[in-house]
Chain A
Amino acid sequence: MELLRPESAEAASAALGNGSVALAGGTELVPLLRDGIVRAEKLVELRDVVPRGFDGTRIGAGTTLAELEVDPQIPQALREACSLAASPQLRSMSTLGGNLLQATRCWYWRLNFPCYLHGGDVCHAKAGQHREHAIFGSDRCASAHPSDPAAALLALGARLHTTARELPLSELYRLPTDDNRDVTALEPGELILELDVPQPEASVYLKAMERRKWSFALVGVAAARFADGVRLALAGVAPVPWALSSPDALEQATPLPGTAYKVDIARALIRRAVEAVGAPRSA
């Protein structure tokens, strides 16, 4: 294996594919490489080519969670989502771009079971252990998207700037289908460069965990109030970050036997989050 240090985002993008994989902080990629789930002949280091830091409402995808969690310019929901993610050691390396693209924590997937998401025919979790899994969108793969910042950014209505285009964060994600098992819609070689994150009137991120610190979300709820209403998005409930059109939309959840409890948690967190940001004036 070889490490490339391209001089521009365009050069990095051109170097990708054909066994070359992008490396940001490495907190996700390094263990996947070690466990043989991702194979790479070359790693393309993004550190010097993907923007880092923030300017007004624009955030570089190379900014670390540790930098985001302490900055008062950053909307509260995103700050809280970052500070509640992982541990201090991980947040100091983890970039926002890498966080949005992290893979599922489903143990079957991480242990390389030939499951649906890995291209197989069955979801092992549905018949087996699935306490941490989905309550929405689980027709095929029942994994739960682990990113806290993604839920916050979805509620905030963030837009991405990539090396190829501009798109709303909601369009970065897709549910896996029989002919394409990816959960993101990035093209080969496409890099996330920056995010535009609108300033809400108020926002909050609440996270239910197995313990108070340092744990993936059982359910995470982001709420952001804008002049035209409150937007909600959830982590840990579907194979992709999940936007809810209203608190009542939760009642359309289709939990598995082992995840029904998540609906109750989500209901309680949504109520608290909506109270915290203040109900929309029209309600």
Chain B
Amino acid sequence: MRVELTVNGERREADAWAGESLLYVLRERLGLPGSKNACEQGECGSCSVLLDGRLVCACLVLAAQADGHELVTVEGLGEEAGLHPVQEAFAETGAVQCGFCTPGFVVATADLLARNPRPSDDEIREALSGNLCRCTGYAKIFDAVRLAAGS
């Protein structure tokens, strides 16, 4: 089937099989590999994107469900001219090791700060609870979120 999406402000179309996930279509059909495919079970959050402004796991949404809807992926956050403040903060604090979880954390953090510019540690913990990182132990990710919130 033909799927029409607005991705990062641009109209995009793709031919997809009705059972294909949004994550697959983004990565394999639209050339946007920023959202990562790790568990495909909704457990790790590395595929986090915004669907009509709501944070979702792209691996659990069918592309057909997103037909006609608006998406923001990690590619839509920064600009040619410069990184998004959240990306800047993750780089600055060294909140990245293997980097596989990072796009999901960046999207979830940007979503949190857009709704709540000065989150408490508990609010950060809650907002990022659906994102897993197997490398950093989370301390530097907290530093990054606090830094981005202050900037």
Q: Is the CB–CB distance between B130 and A214 below 8 Å?
A: yes
Q: Which residues of B contact A86 (CB under 8 A)?
A: 42, 130
Q: Is the CB–CB distance between B18 and A89 below 8 Å?
A: no
Which residue of the partner chain, among A31, A33, A87, contacts B130 with CB atoms under 8 Å? A87
Q: Is the CB–CB distance between B60 and A27 below 8 Å?
A: yes
Could you tell me the dominant secondary structure of chain B's interface residues? mixed
A43 → chain B, closest Cβ, in Å?
A: 7
Q: Tell whether A31 pairs with B42 under 8 Å between CB atoms, given A26-B62, A89-B55, A213-B126.
A: yes
Q: Is the CB–CB distance between B62 and A89 below 8 Å?
A: no
Q: Digit string of B36-78 for contact with A (CB within 8 Å is 1, else 0)?
A: 0000111001001000001111011110110000000000000
Give the complex CA separation of A3 and B17 in angstroms.
10
Give the complex CA separation of A31 and B1 in angstroms.
20
Q: Tell whether A34 pairs with B45 under 8 Å between CB atoms, given A3-B62, A27-B60, A90-B60.
A: no
Q: Which residues of A contact B127 (CB under 8 A)?
A: 88
A66 within 8 A of B: yes
The A9-47 residues at the B interface (CB cut-off 8 A) are: 23, 26-27, 30-31, 33-34, 43, 45, 47
B19 within 8 A of A: yes
Q: Tell whether A92 pairs with B60 under 8 Å between CB atoms, given A1-B19, A213-B125, A214-B130.
A: no
**Considering only CB atoms, which chain A residue lies closest to B52 in the complex?**
A92
Give the complex CA separation of A243 and B72 in angstroms.
43
Q: Chain A contact residues (Cβ within 8 angstroms of B): what range?
A: 20 to 34
Q: Is the CB–CB distance between B65 and A89 below 8 Å?
A: no
B102 within 8 A of A: no
Q: Is the CB–CB distance between A3 and B1 below 8 Å?
A: yes
A179 within 8 A of B: no
A175 → chain B, closest Cβ, in Å?
A: 27
Give the complex CA separation of A90 and B130 in angstroms.
8
A33, A45, A88: residue with the most chain B Cβ atoms closer than 10 Å: A88
B14 → chain A, closest Cβ, in Å?
A: 15
Q: Is the CB–CB distance between B1 and A93 below 8 Å?
A: no
Q: Is the CB–CB distance between B62 and A30 below 8 Å?
A: yes
Give the complex CA separation of A234 and B127 in angstroms.
26
8 closest A-B pairs by CB: A87-B130, A213-B129, A92-B54, A1-B19, A3-B64, A214-B129, A89-B130, A1-B18
B-to-A contact residues, CB < 8 Å: 1, 17-19, 21, 40-42, 45, 48, 54-57, 59-62, 64-65, 108, 125-127, 129-131
Would you give 9 A-B contacts (Cβ < 8 Å), ordered by A?
Answer: A3-B64, A23-B65, A27-B57, A30-B60, A87-B42, A88-B126, A89-B56, A93-B56, A213-B125
